[in-house]
Structure 1
Amino acid sequence: MLMKCAVAAVLMICALPAAAQERTAIKEGFVLPPHSGKTILLLRPTVSVGAQSTGGLFEPNGDWTEQARKNSGDALAARQAALGNKVISAPDSFGDDAQRADEYARLFAAVSQAVIEYQFFKGNRLPTKKHDNKAGVFDWSLGSGVRDLPGAKDADYALFLYNKDAYGSTGRKLLQIAAMLGPGLAVKSGEHAGYAGLVDLRTGDLLWLNADAAMGGDVRDADGAIKRIGQLLEDFPGSDAAQPAKP
């Protein structure tokens, strides 16, 4: 009976929403007024959805990923008007163009992770990122090669989005429960990370980033994707999307 109560208590703890880890930064001096007349190139979101094995390995699920990509695309389309600027979708690309787009999507994810590690956590902040103000110096770039991305010549900025969701398997959840009941053990079940960033297509400078390593919303269903996109575009500079996402 005592064991059943302990397991029930652990399950209740696991069911509680994760503490917000969201961090947002904007390049000093950058302003994007609503309806500025600027054009934003909306790149195809990087979406990866799967399961987390008992051992913690990511196991991609093609059906989940395709459903999440469709749901996210629909949600993004619904939010375009809220961006307060002209938004165009990147054209379909093939060959070298497709490879270039994929490389920059990966680069954006890597730079976002570096910002989280070395900008958002003050204790880890690099010497070149330190400043008297709390936010430090937000100065990151993807390089001027972004101007060669498909559709870049018709836009001022590019909007990158990255999502990775790993849903804990039954074995992983049981391992988490066992670890929480044991002494000094910590096992995380599930991973839900998302980054959204605005990049200057002339210079490659990262102008704004919203990154969250513990996002809400199940992207496998439409309502969850709407919530996720709302979180990703929270505090978008100078637009209606800066309104807080609904809980």
Structure 2
Amino acid sequence: MRRTAGTLIVLAAVLLSGCGAQSYRTTERLVRTDAHPRIMLMPPDIELSERTAGGSNELNAAWTKAAEAHFATALREHLTSIGADFVEYLPPDDASENAPLLDELQSLHATVGQTILDYHFVPALRLPAKKGQFDWSLGPEVTKLAEHGKADYALFVWLRDSYSSPGRMALKVVAALVVGVPVSGGEQRGLCSLVDLKTGQVVWFNALLPRESGDMRTLEESRATTRLLLDRMPK
């Protein structure tokens, strides 16, 4: 993750443990302008890293590139299988004033998604101003995406996957045998949101809670992760 996991995240993980993913939707059926609502596939924000013996994560560019390709294939396969109508995001020219838009929205999605996970899925931590309602938005900037492909909704994905280095694996064995204290290995976590391009509102959200399974370096495991992330997505 981009920020250190704090008490809220730990508490959420404990309270929600046992569930591979948690989702929330504001609609059972997407509003459509045509026969089928069209979903714009935003480039996923994916990072794969190696967890060192010291516990830090080191980004692995080769793994990340492979995961991006696998996820793109798995995502299209899944959406096709459920009969969803989708279109690719068409990035603007580098000289366009909207050139920074993708990076800005991906960063915003990660922040809003983590806030939803922290403050909505644990009832005791819900914000009073929300009055118990699922009311979250990526703001008016999202409407600019309509200029980059005809669609009604945008699908944002944030994924982080890490794997134990040989040193980390050795440490886990020694810690278990000598000290009797478990040492965490790599983990996979993710956030996925469907956003209304007319309003910027998040109409569906799914969180893949931290787990020590799944491997985005392979296509088959990427398919399994994709199914979890898109579980119960309205169409």
Given that residues 90 and 148 in structure 2 are in contact (C-alpha distance below 8 angstroms), is that contact kept between their aligned partners in structure 1? no
Aligned to 2:30: 32
Aligned to 2:196: 200
Instruction: Indicate which of 124, 128, 134 corresponds to 1:138.
Output: 134
Given that residues 45 and 69 in structure 1 are in contact (C-alpha distance below 8 angstroms), is that contact kept between their aligned partners in structure 2? yes
| C-alpha RMSD over aligned residues | 2.4
Aligned to 2:48: 49
Given that residues 20 and 214 in structure 1 are in contact (C-alpha distance below 8 angstroms), is that contact kept between their aligned partners in structure 2? no
Structure 2: distance between partners of 1:70 and 1:116: 27
Three-state SS of the structure 2 residue aligned to 1:212 is strand
Deviations 1:7-33 (A, max 9, x none): xxxxxxxxxxx8434211112x56328
Given that residues 21 and 229 in structure 2 are in contact (C-alpha distance below 8 angstroms), is that contact kept between their aligned partners in structure 1? no
Aligned to 2:79: 80
Query: Structure 1: where are the runs of 5+ without partners?
Result: 1-17, 132-136, 239-247
Report how many residues are paired: 214
Deviations 1:181-206 (A, max 9, x none): 637x5642212111111001111101
Instruction: Indicate which of 201, 224, 232 corresponds to 1:227.
Output: 224
Structure 2: distance between partners of 1:129 and 1:177: 46
Structure 2: distance between partners of 1:49 and 1:122: 31
Report the alpha carbon displacement of residue 94 of structure 1 after superposing the two structures with TM: 4.0
Alignment of 1:81-230 (within 5 A): 81-95=80-94, 96-131=97-132, 137-149=133-145, 151-152=147-148, 154-180=150-176, 182=179, 187-215=183-211, 216-230=213-227
Letter in 2 for 1:76: L
- Measured at CA, do residues 36 and 179 of structure 1 come closer, stay the same or move farther in structure 2, by a change above 3 Å? farther
Given that residues 97 and 150 in structure 1 are in contact (C-alpha distance below 8 angstroms), is that contact kept between their aligned partners in structure 2? no
Deviations 1:58-113 (A, max 9, x none): 10111101110001111112122234332001114442434210110111111111
Structure 2: distance between partners of 1:83 and 1:112: 24
Deviations 1:20-60 (A, max 9, x none): 34211112x56328995111101111110110112221101
- Measured at CA, do residues 39 and 170 of structure 1 come closer, stay the same or move farther in structure 2, by a change above 3 Å? same
Given that residues 36 and 85 in structure 1 are in contact (C-alpha distance below 8 angstroms), is that contact kept between their aligned partners in structure 2? no
Given that residues 47 and 163 in structure 1 are in contact (C-alpha distance below 8 angstroms), is that contact kept between their aligned partners in structure 2? yes
TM-score normalised per structure 2? 0.81
